[in-house]
């Protein structure tokens, strides 16, 4: 055989070997692969996965860290509870927040979603959400769980019940409303509305026993799970020896519930975000930058009272400057530092941006400053927007969730007041995120015997 022919044959053989190796390797990998949890992405920080294709990291699975073990145990236990509920078909808990319902702001809605999801797990029911405004923003995150999307046909709801369920939820009576909610009188014996706005009563096992006769439990409220409620459920599921009955498990449950059910939709990730003094970027690009291992992302929330969100905040206090500088120098560890400023008011956001931009020109510590450019109405609570165009309310929801996701993906989150909006981001964020108060620059622990991030809704 001629030398040229031998070379061609050897090249062809090598190509076949490489093809078989890749083909068989891929088949094996797909056969063995299980769904990635958000913390298992090896190339990015521990946080939401956003359909990441990164290979799972074995370091977490073999970690002796108690926080890592607790996190995995809590997440897996909750997932198993929902899978069992789906198999048993005992009933449903449906969180309701429609256009005509008064649901509060995003902090209230997040608390309601988490409270109703945990109520479903605690009572052996499947979980659904009836909130048309929510569906374009988030997708199902976990193919091992049934979709959270509400479908009246799937749930086999009668036409007479559907007609009654069209009534508006009267949230103003949450504290006083008996169960079942008399505003929905006439529902069949299998359905009831639970109105719990500003009420903690649904958290107790005694009250939950009264839900037993109802296959369809519609939930309207703004309170999340509590430490005591979680501890009772953990003892029921895991026994007294369970490591995740500690107070830290309660905070892990928020992280697990959110990340096992929800991920930003493709539409939201492609949404163009305009920052002050820069062109638009898709949200996905910003989140990818924030999640890089060589980037330190610190977010400060400049909050003003809801009714006065157009008034500028006093951000020029030297204390703010020293707090953010000290936190960045302490935790950045030589990485490129990005400061993100979020606010519920347009003037406070601009004022804060100009101030820190000026400091940056004086060789301050931030390589870049992000401030979401917003105009007009900012609050998604439609009780504040009774005279506002519905289109502005819809825009406020999108832009509010963008700011919220930037807070979720912070290495350090500096909270201006303990309002529900930033606290919900802290609870949905990876447990490695650190939170500090803006007025004293002190840590605000999510968990422990005396958690500091409750905002009257989450503990």
Q: Residues 371-397: pLDDT tens digits? A: 887 765 566 665 544 445 566 667 778
Cα dist from 8 to 12, 13, 15, 16, 406, whole Å: 6, 9, 11, 12, 54
Direct distance between the N- and C-terminal alpha carbons of the chain, in angstroms, rounded to an integer: 80
- Indicate if the pLDDT at residue 363 is higher than 60: no
Lowest mean pLDDT among 24-33, 38-47, 159-168: 24-33
How many Cβ atoms are within 10 Å of 138's Cβ, its own excluded? 19
- Please enumerate in sequence order all residues whose Cβ is within 8 A of that of 182, keeping only pairs 6 or more positions apart, or say none: none
Strand partners, 437: 415
Lowest mean pLDDT among 108-112, 208-212, 230-234: 230-234
Q: Count how many residues are written for the chain.
A: 459
Q: What is the pLDDT of residues 66-93, one digit of tens each?
A: 455 577 888 888 999 999 999 999 999 9
Percent of the chain with pLDDT over 70: 70
Query: What's this model's pTM, rounded to 2 decimal places?
Result: 0.83
Cβ atoms of 250 and 445 within 8 Å: the answer is: no
Give the residue, 272 or 376, on which the prediction is more confident: 272
**In the structure encoding, which two tokens stand for residue 306, read together?**
């809801």
- With H, G, I as helix, E, B as strand and everything else as coil, classify residue 416: coil
pLDDT at 307: 52
Lowest mean pLDDT among 287-301, 372-386, 424-438: 372-386
pLDDT at 6: 52
- Please enumerate in sequence order all residues whose Cβ is within 8 A of that of 398, keeping only pairs 6 or more positions apart, or say none: 137, 268, 271
How many Cβ atoms are within 10 Å of 373's Cβ, its own excluded? 16
Indicate the pLDDT class of residue 202, thresholds 50, 70 and 90.
confident
pLDDT at 104: 85
pLDDT at 251: 85
Place of tokens 């005591």: 228
pLDDT at 333: 92
On average, the pLDDT of the chain sits at: 77
Please state, in angstroms and rounded to a whole number, the distance separating the CA atoms of residues 2 and 25: 34
- Indicate if the pLDDT at residue 329 is higher than 50: yes
pLDDT at 362: 55
pLDDT at 30: 29
Element (H, E) at 18: helix 3-32
- Indicate if the pLDDT at residue 18 is higher than 50: no
Give the residue, 346 or 401, on which the prediction is more confident: 401
- b/e map 76-102, b = 16+ CB within 10 Å: ebbbebbeebeeeeebbbbbbbeeebb
Indicate the pLDDT class of residue 411, thresholds 50, 70 and 90.
very high
Lowest mean pLDDT among 190-204, 384-398, 431-445: 384-398
413 phi/psi in degrees, rounded to 5:
-115, 120
Give the residue, 264 or 58, on which the prediction is more confident: 264
**In the structure encoding, which two tokens stand for residue 115, read together?**
């409270």
**In the structure encoding, which two tokens stand for residue 282, read together?**
């898709």
- Please enumerate in sequence order all residues whose Cβ is within 8 A of that of 47, keeping only pairs 6 or more positions apart, or say none: 38, 291, 408, 409, 429, 430
- Indicate if the pLDDT at residue 41 is higher than 70: no
């Amino acid at each position: 055989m001629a030398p040229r022919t031998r070379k061609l044959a050897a090249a062809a053989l090598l190509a076949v070997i490489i093809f078989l190796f890749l083909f068989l390797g891929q088949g094996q990998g797909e056969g063995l692969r299980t769904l990635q949890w958000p913390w298992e992405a090896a190339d990015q920080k521990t946080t939401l996965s956003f359909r990441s294709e990164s290979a799972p990291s074995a370091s977490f699975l073999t970690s002796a860290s108690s926080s890592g073990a607790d996190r995995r145990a809590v997440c897996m236990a909750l997932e198993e509870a929902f899978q069992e509920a789906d198999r048993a078909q005992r009933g449903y808990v449906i969180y309701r927040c429609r256009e005509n319902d008064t649901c509060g702001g995003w902090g209230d809605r997040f608390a309601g979603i988490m409270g109703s999801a945990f109520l479903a797990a605690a009572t052996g029911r499947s979980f659904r959400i009836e909130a048309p405004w929510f569906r374009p923003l988030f997708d199902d995150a976990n193919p091992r769980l049934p979709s959270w999307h509400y479908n009246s046909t799937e749930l086999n709801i009668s036409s007479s019940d559907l007609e009654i369920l069209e009534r508006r939820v009267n949230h103003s009576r949450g504290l006083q409303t008996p169960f079942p909610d008399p505003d929905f009188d006439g529902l069949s014996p299998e359905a009831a509305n639970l109105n719990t706005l500003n009420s903690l009563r649904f958290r107790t096992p005694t009250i939950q026993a009264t839900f037993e006769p109802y296959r369809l439990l519609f939930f309207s409220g703004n309170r999340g799970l509590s430490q005591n409620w979680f501890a009772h459920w953990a003892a029921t599921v895991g026994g007294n020896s369970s490591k995740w009955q500690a107070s830290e498990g309660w905070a892990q449950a928020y992280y697990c519930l959110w990340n096992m059910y929800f991920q930003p939709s493709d539409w939201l990730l492609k949404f163009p975000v305009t920052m002050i003094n820069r062109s638009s970027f898709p949200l996905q690009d910003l989140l990818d930058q924030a999640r890089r291992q060589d980037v330190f992302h610190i977010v400060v929330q400049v909050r003003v009272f809801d009714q006065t969100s157009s008034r500028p905040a006093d951000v020029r206090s030297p204390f703010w400057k020293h707090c953010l500088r000290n936190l960045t120098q302490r935790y950045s560890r030589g990485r490129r530092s990005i400061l993100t400023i979020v606010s519920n008011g347009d003037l406070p956001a601009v004022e804060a941006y100009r101030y820190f931009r000026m400091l940056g020109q004086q060789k301050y510590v931030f390589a870049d400053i992000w401030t979401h450019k917003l105009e007009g109405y900012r609050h998604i609570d439609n009780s504040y927007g009774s005279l506002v165009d519905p289109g502005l309310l819809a825009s406020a929801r999108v832009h509010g969730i963008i700011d919220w996701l930037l807070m979720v993906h912070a290495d350090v989150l500096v909270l201006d007041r303990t309002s529900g909006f930033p606290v919900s981001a802290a609870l949905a964020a990876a447990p490695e995120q650190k939170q500090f108060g803006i007025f004293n620059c002190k840590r605000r622990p999510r968990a422990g015997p005396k958690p500091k991030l409750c905002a009257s809704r989450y503990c």
